[in-house]
């Protein structure tokens, strides 16, 4: 069915979803981040690892997340990511910006609801 097709992540939203996931879950590895985003989306989003890992690297270079090696539940070496203090501030900032954007977009999608 066409309605069951998974969508790619919208441009500009992956960073916020990663930061929000880390804010909620605490330290977690990349696979766990991807699974959580897919789960929260109701399995409507598909996370491409070729997109996720560069996003994680960029967030780390920007100082919003930090990483360290650890051992996963299945006893494999895994890189765990966690939110930094700057990352916590960035989550709040990006969430406000996206809420503002969504409000503006809603005005175009539902003009009959305008005052």
How do residues 66-108 score in pLDDT, each as one tens digit? Answer: 999 999 888 999 999 999 999 999 999 999 999 999 999 998 9
Phi, psi of 83 (to 5 degrees): -75, 140
pTM across the whole model: 0.85
Task: Evaluate whether 15 touches 9 at the Cβ level (below 8 Å).
Answer: no
**Is domain 2-113 in CATH 1.10.10.10, yes or no?**
yes
How do residues 25-62 score in pLDDT, each as one tens digit? Answer: 999 999 999 999 999 999 999 898 899 999 999 999 99
In degrees, rounded to 5, the angle at the alpha carbon of residue 66 between the alpha carbons of residues 10 and 42 is 35
Domain boundaries, the chain: 2-113
Pairing mode, strands 7-8 and 77-83: unpaired
**3-state DSSP of 99-111:** HHHHHHHHHHHCH
Q: What is the model's pLDDT at position 57?
A: 96
The confidence band for 6, taking pLDDT boundaries of 50, 70 and 90, is confident
């Amino acid at each position: 069915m066409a309605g069951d097709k998974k969508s790619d992540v919208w441009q500009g939203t992956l960073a916020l979803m990663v930061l929000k996931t880390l804010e909620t879950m605490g330290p977690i590895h990349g696979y766990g981040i991807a699974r959580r985003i897919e789960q929260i989306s109701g399995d409507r989003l598909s996370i491409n690892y070729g997109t996720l890992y560069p996003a994680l690297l960029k967030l780390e270079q920007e100082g919003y997340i930090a990483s360290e090696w650890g051992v996963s539940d299945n006893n494999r070496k895994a890189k765990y990511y966690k939110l930094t203090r700057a990352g916590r501030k960035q989550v709040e900032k990006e969430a406000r910006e996206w809420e503002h954007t969504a409000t503006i977009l809603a005005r175009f999608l539902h003009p009959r609801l305008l005052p």
